[in-house]
Homo-oligomer: A and B are copies of this chain.
Amino acid sequence: MSLIVQKFGGTSVASVAHIENVARRILTSRKEGHDVVVVVSAMGDDTDKLVALAEEVDFRDCRAQREMDVLLASGEQVTIALLSMMLMKLGCKAKSFTGTQARIQTDAVHTRARILNIDIASLKVQIDQGIIPVVAGFQGRDSEDNITTLGRGGSDTTAVALAAILEVDECQIYTDVEGVFTTDPRVVEGACRLDVITFEEMLELASQGSRILHSRAVEFASKYQVPLRVLSSFKDGPGTLITNEGQSMEQPLISGIAFTRDEAKLTILGVKDIPGIASAILGPISEANIMVDMIVQNVADDMSTDFTFTVRREDYDQALKILENIAQKIGAKEVKGNNKIAKLSMVGVGMRSHAGVASKMFRVLADESINIQMISTSEIKISVVINEKYLELAARALHSAFDLSGASLDEPTTTD
């Protein structure tokens, strides 16, 4: 008998029929002898609908954020009630908990609160009585009983936080894919599901555009050593276990290839190469709340330098305008931009002990005549920026060259 947290996202609970499917999955786990704590998101696109209502009010002010949280938190409240009813209908004891009722204590930063603590006493009482607690993800309360929400990926974070504090045996994240794949199966035919992946790899994949799990939840799970499993709500299967390095026999060189088109590149040319110039350029960008991803600085000649960075594509126009202002102020030669780029990353803990991954990657791209515009590396990741029209070609070529279709050297894992 083990204790597991099962989290079901919006697409998994998009209708009452979906909710019945979810309830049956939970029942199966119960029949297998597990105690289950359930975390759910708002139904389908209900959160988007609530956001649309707030946009119609159109009050852009920080004071609106408290009310935004009250508004959005109503979404999961609907799901917990319906799922609890459905579980009872199918013969299970169940009870819903809003974030407030589950005593998910957060800081007071509305719309992106952080969980400080969860008082699990009340949930434990339910579990001991054989009642399935159905907890609203994404939401909590601050010390003054205001409703807070956790921001993007919040329900994943709720699930992992509960799993950590309840010291569960596994935290299962049910989603609309069968697990973590070596790359996007819609782009590369041979993409295959990974049985196991490390937290580090998953973090790199998550932040590099694999939208299965929010990186915050993965970080949380890594920090508190919560075994995390990604599974499909719609198809049976073992999913992908995200765990510590060392649990599997041998690390593959490369675990996966992630990519995103959600990027744009900006270059400021002929900048005086003096101390403080980077912050003079990036300061106004970050003040405008524009996230900068890759940054590259080249020395052009003795006196001046070129400075290139990437931003989200939706921020491109605004960033370009700001950069042109900066260029005038600091007397730069020219500003260039390109929003037809894509970023592709290869991720694998095996890179640590294997040289030559980068050079092989660059050779494969060169063989396909794909020009690399920017390069960025970490210990377990190599990212390149290329023209977006070559993205699929690059992904397929690398997937094949690194033999990822038969990549999984890991043992099959079980949910024991």
Contacts and interface: CB of A to CB of B under 8 A. Distances in A.
B67 A53 contact: no
Nearest to A73: B77
A64 B81 CA distance: 9
Interface residue SS majority, chain A: helix
Nearest to A58: B89
A416 interface: no
Name the interface size band of chain A.
35 or more
A57 interface: yes
A67 B50 contact: no
Contact of A71 (B77, B89, B100, B146): B77
A54 interface: yes
A85 B77 CA distance: 21
Contacts of A66: 95-96
A56 to B, nearest CB: 4
Interface string A64-101: 10111011011101101110111011000001101011
Nearest to A46: B74
- How many copies of this chain? 2
A88 B71 contact: no
B96 A70 contact: yes
A268 interface: no
Contact of A61 (B75, B80, B88, B98): B88
Nearest to A55: B16
Interface string A14-33: 00100100000000000000
23 contacts: A19-B57, A53-B78, A54-B81, A54-B82, A57-B82, A59-B86, A59-B88, A61-B88, A61-B89, A67-B85, A67-B96, A68-B81, A68-B85, A70-B77, A70-B80, A70-B98, A71-B78, A71-B81, A74-B74, A74-B77, A100-B100, A101-B146, A101-B147
What 9 A-B pairs come out closest when comparing CB atoms? A71-B81, A59-B89, A70-B81, A16-B56, A74-B74, A74-B77, A67-B81, A59-B85, A67-B84
